[in-house]
Amino acid sequence: MIRRSLFVLFMICALTFTGLHVGAQSPAGEKIDLEAIKKIREAEMANSQVMDILSMLTDVHGPRLTGSPNAKAAANWAKDKLAEWGGQNSHLEAWGPFGRGWALQKFEASATEPQAFPLIAYPKAWSPSTNGMVTGEVIYLDAATPEELDKYKGKLKGAIVMMSPLREVNAHFKAEGTRATDEELLAMSNAEPPGAGGGRGGGRPGGPGGTPNAAQLVAQKKQQMVYDEGAAVLLDAGRGDGGTMFVQSVTMPPVPQDTPREQRKSAQSMDAPKIIPQITVSIEQYNRMVRMIKKGVHVQVELNIVARYFTDDPMSYNVIAEIPGTDLKDEVVMLGAHLDSWHSGTGATDNAAGSAVCLEAFRLIQSLGLKPRRTIRIGLWTGEEQGLLGSRAYVTQHFGERVAPAGAAGGGGGFGQQGELKIKPENEKVAGYFNLDNGTGKIRGIYLQGNEAVRPIFRAWLAPFKDLGASTITVSNTGGTDHQSFDAVGIPGFQFIQDEIEYSSRTHHSNQDVYERIQADDMKQASLIMASFVFNAATRDQKLPRKPMVTGGQQRAGQQ
């Protein structure tokens, strides 16, 4: 009952305050250089370059898998552009070792018998090459229990093996693309503080150590069998249908269950074990082959993967550049996004979009000759898709780190607010960090990341953009993006709330993550708001307030 009445009171307050703060000084006393904000907005609306930047990052330099030549070329292009725009100290900053790079050089896949048809298919990232063109009958491992797999024993050497079961495909009755509704935004405004049961992306139940179910046991035994017997190529059907295919990294050879996480090799490890070539096939074709095989039809395919590993440089590179400040130039405001992507599309929404917005925001501030008091520093990160690696390495090197308590499960330490905090002197100079990594959708507001003290400040900063749909402030956390690397060491780090558009339904880690899926008007809106936030943070008298550091939190999340 008490919660309900507080809830209503909160809503009344929220509605009353909305839209009041247009002016040089908000009721909270927040001074804003509205003239500069107006200039930023007009410049972006009249002469945006954000889609040109996006085209360079996707069409020309995409996809940008960490460690690949494309990722390096994209980073170099961004570094040069930042310098060309007048950015200072524009450079690549090495971190690592990350491991070996990978790039696809050629790929062919067709069914040949009983009928010829081209396969819509993609090799998984870090798949090795096949040994030339592999031709043969496909073996479908048809088993509901581990015991049923025994009938395939001794038959998998040199075979092309279909690993995943048939998957039902349903009609899409819901629109692929959506924007946040007023109700959804209001619910975000009214969310409980993190730790009180709210918090999007605030960790998932389960995880390693749980008892595997029947399907998992079958999948594990399949992996063991194909490696024991030496299959030639593995096929599966990832998520997605209707031309959308979600494709990520290869599945690694099985290791004993009790192998500690830090001893498990990743696909990019320089000393990765031998991996069987792996291909994801469109679900409709995959299912068709399964149905034919179940009828006793012999299905033959031809497959050829030519992929290359790059082992000469195990390091990866973040892009860093600055606009020097004036009277507070020793202090820093950062904006950033991850530049790396998965490989089956061109990494447009994940995350050329965020990178292009940050680059455009940087260009706007620089080209308008605005004089930020604090130094503005852009960071474009790599290795995000493998676990926020690039931003975490940058934060560790410059600002400090969380040292996981002894005995804690390896890996993942440092995303959240667990472990002992070791701070470096530069840390306190950072006024704030702003990240964009939730696709092409326009900015609808911002996550406070549990930092209630910044609410009135952000409310004032968002006020000029109410007509652009950006006015929601939620105390919730969001996870899986690089702001967590900053948040973990006490730096006020934020990710904006963005419209979903087609992120989960179509583009996130898929072959459809391409230029066409980008909404140009949304990109402009995000660019001018990013530029404004960064400029506000760089001109305000005080740095953004910090939240009390949590030491026993559970915050963790997967990658975006």
Binding site for Zn ion (CB under 5 A): 350, 560
Of the pair 33, 350, the CB lying nearest Zn ion is at 350
Question: At closest approach, how far in Å is the CB of 343 from Zn ion?
Answer: 12
Question: At closest approach, how far in Å is the CB of 501 from Zn ion?
Answer: 15
Cα 434 to Cα 439: distance, rounded to the nearest angstrom: 15
Of the pair 244, 560, the CB lying nearest Zn ion is at 560
Of the pair 355, 560, the CB lying nearest Zn ion is at 560
Tokens of 132: 């030339």
DSSP letter string, 149-215: GGGGTT--TT-EEE-SPP-------S-S-B---HHHHHHHHTPPPBTTTB-TT---S--TTSPP-HH
Of the pair 390, 450, the CB lying nearest Zn ion is at 390
Of the pair 507, 555, the CB lying nearest Zn ion is at 507
Helical spans, DSSP H, in 368-421? 389-398
Question: At closest approach, how far in Å is the CB of 435 from Zn ion?
Answer: 13
Q: Which of 310, 277, 382, 272 is nearest to 68 (CA)?
A: 310
Distance from the first to the final alpha carbon of the chain? 37
Question: At closest approach, how far in Å is the CB of 559 from Zn ion?
Answer: 5
How crowded is the C-beta side of 443, counted as CA atoms within 13 Å? Answer: 32
Instruction: Point out the residue whose Cβ comes nearest to Zn ion.
Output: 350
Question: At closest approach, how far in Å is the CB of 483 from Zn ion?
Answer: 14
Question: At closest approach, how far in Å is the CB of 384 from Zn ion?
Answer: 7
Question: At closest approach, how far in Å is the CB of 509 from Zn ion?
Answer: 6
Of the pair 527, 560, the CB lying nearest Zn ion is at 560
Question: At closest approach, how far in Å is the CB of 437 from Zn ion?
Answer: 8
Cα 498 to Cα 492: distance, rounded to the nearest angstrom: 19
Q: Which of 412, 414, 376 is nearest to 395 (CA)?
A: 414
Of the pair 236, 385, the CB lying nearest Zn ion is at 385
Q: Which of 404, 395, 379 is nearest to 485 (CA)?
A: 395
CB 298 within 8 A of CB 160: no
**Residue at 101: amino acid letter:** G
Of the pair 478, 536, the CB lying nearest Zn ion is at 478
Cβ-Cβ contacts under 8 Å for 411 (sequence gap 6 or more): 261, 262, 387
CB 301 within 8 A of CB 232: no
Q: Which of 217, 84, 90, 52 is nearest to 147 (CA)?
A: 217
Longest dimension (CA), the chain: 78
Cα 536 to Cα 432: distance, rounded to the nearest angstrom: 11
Cα 218 to Cα 152: distance, rounded to the nearest angstrom: 13
SS3 381: strand
Question: At closest approach, how far in Å is the CB of 169 from Zn ion?
Answer: 24
Of the pair 438, 539, the CB lying nearest Zn ion is at 438
Helix axes of 353-367 and 520-539: crossing angle, nearest 10 degrees: 50
Cα 452 to Cα 476: distance, rounded to the nearest angstrom: 10
Question: At closest approach, how far in Å is the CB of 206 from Zn ion?
Answer: 21
CB 427 within 8 A of CB 399: yes
Question: At closest approach, how far in Å is the CB of 350 from Zn ion?
Answer: 4
Of the pair 285, 507, the CB lying nearest Zn ion is at 507
Of the pair 350, 499, the CB lying nearest Zn ion is at 350
